[in-house]
């Protein structure tokens, strides 16, 4: 990560763009979908990095800066939308006592107070729930809404009527309009009981709905179209503030909250008015110490300036008040024993180590698994089965190991496998990468579905009627156990298939006809369909332009493997020279000169065909199909020798067909516009590539003009 002090403006702008997209993505997952994929601590780290860069480069602050956005927009939802009369703001965060002291100092500077002036604050626990606003008119509840993006939320009025903590009518004399804001939550004990009930009621316990944590349970229960579902869930509510009001019952934050409690709406029992930063921090430490014993989950303590006239003077920044701050707790940690390390193989072949723990409770959740990320992370931590480890959990994510307490014990290191635990193929990490991947591809059961889906996809063999559902069905029946060659043997199961649900004689015959039509597939499509890493559709064509016959690939891959074994880096040879030497050797072996054929492609071919299982799969496949020689016949045309870019939606042909036409006319089809581009063919919806072409003065034509060029070439 680049130090901010040494950043150029371009680097800062690029990182701010990346952070804005990342933070928006995680905001949507957390606020709109109730399914976060990173911890609170990791999210806060992204925000802090963004804030630091913005502070150093204020002229680069973006319109979509995370500091200008609250929550996430309400998108597709069965609930009606509600526009908040007063925006529901977020809070800035503090992570240390120094941050809190600086908050108080900022308040003094803004209000021009003396350094010794008392700044009274309220302090209360920050509940990890779902923000909700309750609108009372003449004391009666008329509307309830979630926060949404702060401006527009969801109408949950019918649902909150079933929450016992929320009165339908306020006690005593309340203002004509008063919006009470707080958190809908689920107590820890109620959460445990709910999951147990859902498990007991399920016909199939393995498929029972189970909530990950109390916040998810609360959010999922409140945002229901059917209010009876909400009524069946044990939800609670605690108030922490207000929105639109016609009048205030007091002149301080603490006294207004006391009034809200008198009206019958619960507030935090830990709410205090404190006169100094020292007292505030002492209360923080007290709450942190009691955190595990509280009946509900919290993730920090919120401080607010007590005097409402000061709050009004302090006002707001883009998405948060200047008069409040959330002092977050550090990620929760616990000690336990790492009992085993299992290696899981993903659908793309990535080997991921997962630690199996002696179960331990962290943040109210029983944890028995922990991600170890990759081979390098295991080496960094030095973890082995039997080690005592410190784990950390913050948010709804798989925990991580932060410290190995017994790494100095004299025991053998964990040996990361060099073969796939599923198919026993070689497992390798490419140069410069940390991930180890299985080279088994289509013969690996962990990858088979995804690989077969790719093999029949539109860009590869394009077998109509053989979609994801059918592939999954045939795999389950054991009809595709040997890999893609079995696709061409499916007709042996015709009678069995006719007896299955959804398969009639016509659909079966159509499927088999589509398969038979691919017995002599385009060689480049066949190569692309194998799913060899780094060999995309364009690279496959570039390879075969030089080789011509796809059948020679195993031999060429063996030559590359032999070259790598016999030609290591020489003493004193620079990285650049070593790389250049290998690139030239690979291109000579593969008989190609295309820019896209380099080290990654050559090594991927070597790894794939060096694996005996893959060679067997290849031989089996060629026993069923007969790809013709790959010969690119080019015709003289006005675009011969040009570099062409296709952009926008093509209406009369696919993008692959357009690129093939360009190559047949002696042109090169590129994916991006540059100074080397000679022609751009733009369809409807063309965007940045069209603008770039215009800026560079590159000729632009439409699809009809391109069709004329193709026709004129004969």
HEC secondary structure over 296-341: CCEEEEEEEECEHHHHHHHCECCCCECCEEEEECCCEEEEEEEEEE
Residues 6 or more apart whose CB falls under 8 angstroms from that of 482 comprise 617, 620
Chain mean pLDDT for the chain: 86
User: Average pLDDT for residues 259-276, to the nearest whole number?
Assistant: 96
Q: CA-CA distance, 497 to 474, in Å (whole number)?
A: 9
Apex 169 CA angle, 167 and 175, nearest 5:
120
Q: Exactly one of 81, 126, 207, 491 is catalytic; which is it? A: 126
CATH T-level topology, domain 93-328: D-amino Acid Aminotransferase; Chain A, domain 1 (3.30.470)
pLDDT exceeds cutoff 60 at 34: no
Q: CA-CA distance, 48 to 382, in Å (whole number)?
A: 30
Stretch among 83-87, 302-306, 437-441, 699-703 having the lowest mean pLDDT = 437-441
- Delimit the domains of the chain by residue range: 4-69, 93-328, 332-404, 524-622, 643-712
Confidence of residue 404 (pLDDT cuts 50, 70, 90): very high
Q: CA-CA distance, 663 to 161, in Å (whole number)?
A: 67
pLDDT exceeds cutoff 50 at 73: no
Confidence of residue 310 (pLDDT cuts 50, 70, 90): very high
pLDDT of residue 78: 66
3-state secondary structure of 551: helix
Higher-confidence residue of 386 and 51: namely: 386
User: Average pLDDT for residues 312-341, to the nearest whole number?
Assistant: 88
Backbone φ, ψ for residue 683 (5° rounding): -100, 180
The pLDDT tens digits of the residues spanning 327-360 come to: 998 877 888 999 999 999 886 788 999 999 988 8
Q: CA-CA distance, 669 to 659, in Å (whole number)?
A: 6
Look at phi and psi of residue 502 and say left if phi exceeds 0, alpha if psi is from -120 to 50, else beta.
left
CATH T-level topology, domain 4-69: Helix Hairpins (1.10.287)
The pLDDT tens digits of the residues spanning 677-712 come to: 999 998 888 888 888 888 889 999 998 899 888 888
Higher-confidence residue of 228 and 621: namely: 621
332-404: CATH architecture: Beta Barrel (2.40)
pLDDT of residue 444: 86
pLDDT of residue 269: 95
SS3 of 78-136: the string is CCCEEECCCCCCCCCEECCHHHHHHHHHHHHHHHCCCCCCCCCEEEEEEECCEEEEEEE
Asked if 126 is an active-site residue, the reply is yes
Q: CA-CA distance, 442 to 530, in Å (whole number)?
A: 8
pLDDT of residue 123: 97
Confidence of residue 291 (pLDDT cuts 50, 70, 90): confident
Apex 364 CA angle, 362 and 367, nearest 5:
45
Residues 6 or more apart whose CB falls under 8 angstroms from that of 517 comprise none
Confidence of residue 18 (pLDDT cuts 50, 70, 90): confident
Q: Which whole-number Å values give the CA distances from 298 to 129, 164, 482, 523, in the listed order? A: 8, 21, 53, 60
Confidence of residue 534 (pLDDT cuts 50, 70, 90): confident
Per this entry, what is the length of the chain?
714
pLDDT of residue 120: 96
- Which of the listed CATH numbers 1.10.10.10, 3.40.50.10190, 3.40.1160.10, 1.25.40.10 matches domain 643-712? 3.40.50.10190
The pLDDT tens digits of the residues spanning 218-250 come to: 888 888 878 888 888 899 999 999 999 999 999
The pLDDT tens digits of the residues spanning 127-169 come to: 988 999 999 999 999 999 999 888 888 999 988 998 999 999 9
């Amino acid at each position: 990560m680049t130090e901010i002090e040494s950043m150029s403006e371009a680097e800062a702008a690029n990182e701010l763009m990346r952070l804005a997209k990342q933070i928006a993505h995680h905001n949507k997952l957390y606020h709109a979908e109730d399914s976060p994929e990173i911890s609170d601590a990791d999210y806060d780290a992204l925000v802090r990095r963004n804030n630091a860069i913005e502070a150093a480069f204020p002229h680069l602050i973006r319109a979509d800066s995370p500091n200008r956005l609250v929550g996430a927009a309400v998108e597709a939802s069965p609930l009606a939308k509600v526009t908040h009369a007063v925006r529901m703001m977020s809070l800035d965060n503090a992570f240390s006592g120094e941050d809190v002291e600086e908050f108080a100092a900022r308040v003094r500077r803004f209000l021009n107070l003396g350094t010794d002036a008392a700044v009274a604050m309220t302090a209360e626990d920050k509940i990890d729930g779902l923000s909700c606003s309750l609108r009372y008119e003449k004391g009666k509840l008329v509307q309830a809404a979630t926060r949404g993006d702060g401006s527009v939320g969801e109408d949950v009025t019918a649902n909150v009527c079933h929450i016992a903590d929320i009165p339908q009518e306020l006690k005593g004399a309340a203002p004509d309009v008063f919006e009470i804001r707080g958190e809908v939550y689920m107590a820890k004990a109620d959460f445990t009981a709910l999951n147990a009930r859902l498990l007991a009621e399920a016909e199939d316990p393995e498929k029972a709905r189970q909530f990950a944590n109390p916040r998810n349970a609360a959010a999922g229960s409140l945002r229901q179209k059917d209010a009876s579902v909400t009524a069946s869930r044990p939800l609670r509510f605690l108030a922490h503030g207000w929105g639109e009001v016609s009048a205030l019952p007091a002149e301080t934050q603490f006294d207004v909250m006391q009034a809200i409690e008198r009206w019958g709406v619960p507030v935090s029992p830990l709410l205090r008015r404190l006169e100094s930063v020292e007292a505030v921090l002492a209360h923080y430490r007290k709450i942190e110490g009691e955190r595990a014993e509280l009946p509900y989950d919290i993730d920090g303590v919120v401080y607010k300036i007590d005097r409402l006239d000061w709050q009004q003077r302090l006002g707001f920044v883009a998405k948060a008040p200047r008069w409040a701050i959330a002092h977050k707790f550090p990620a929760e940690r616990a000690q336990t024993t790492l009992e085993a390390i299992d290696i899981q193989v993903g659908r793309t072949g990535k080997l991921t180590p997962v630690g199996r723990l002696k179960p331990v409770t962290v943040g109210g959740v029983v944890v028995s698994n922990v991600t170890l990320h990759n081979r390098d992370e295991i080496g960094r931590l030095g973890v082995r089965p039997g080690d005592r480890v410190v784990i950390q959990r913050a948010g709804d994510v798989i925990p991580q190991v932060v410290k190995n307490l017994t790494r100095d014990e004299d025991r053998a290191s964990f040996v990361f496998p060099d073969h796939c635990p599923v198919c026993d193929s070689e497992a390798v990490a490419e140069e410069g990468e940390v991930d180890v991947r299985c080279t088994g591809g289509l013969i690996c059961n962990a990858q088979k579905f995804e690989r077969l889906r790719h093999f029949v996809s539109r860009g590869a063999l394009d077998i109509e009627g053989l979609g994801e559902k059918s592939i999954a069905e045939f795999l389950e029946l054991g009809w595709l156990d040997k890999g893609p060659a079995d696709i061409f043997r499916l007709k042996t199961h015709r009678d069995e298939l006719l007896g299955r649900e959804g398969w009639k004689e016509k659909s079966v015959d159509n499927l088999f006809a589509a398969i038979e039509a691919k017995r002599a597939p385009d060689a480049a499509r066949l190569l692309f369909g194998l799913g060899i890493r780094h060999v995309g559709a364009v690279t496959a064509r570039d390879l075969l332009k030089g080789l011509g016959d796809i059948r020679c690939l195993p031999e060429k891959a063996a030559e590359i493997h032999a070259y790598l074994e016999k030609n290591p880096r020489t003493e004193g040879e620079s990285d650049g020279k070593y790389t250049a030497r290998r690139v030239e050797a690979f291109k000579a072996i593969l008989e190609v000169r295309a820019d896209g054929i380099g080290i990654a492609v050559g090594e991927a071919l070597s790894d794939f065909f060096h694996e005996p299982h893959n060679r067997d799969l290849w031989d089996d496949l060629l026993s069923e199909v007969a790809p013709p020689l790959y010969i690119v016949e080019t015709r003289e045309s006005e675009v011969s020798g040009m570099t062409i870019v296709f952009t926008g939606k093509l209406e009369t042909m696919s993008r692959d067909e357009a690129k093939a036409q360009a190559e047949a006319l002696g042109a090169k089809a590129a994916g991006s516009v540059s100074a080397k581009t000679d022609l751009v063919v733009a369809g409807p919806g063309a965007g940045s590539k069209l603008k770039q072409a215009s800026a560079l003065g590159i000729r632009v034509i439409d699809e009809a003009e391109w069709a004329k060029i193709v026709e004129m070439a004969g």
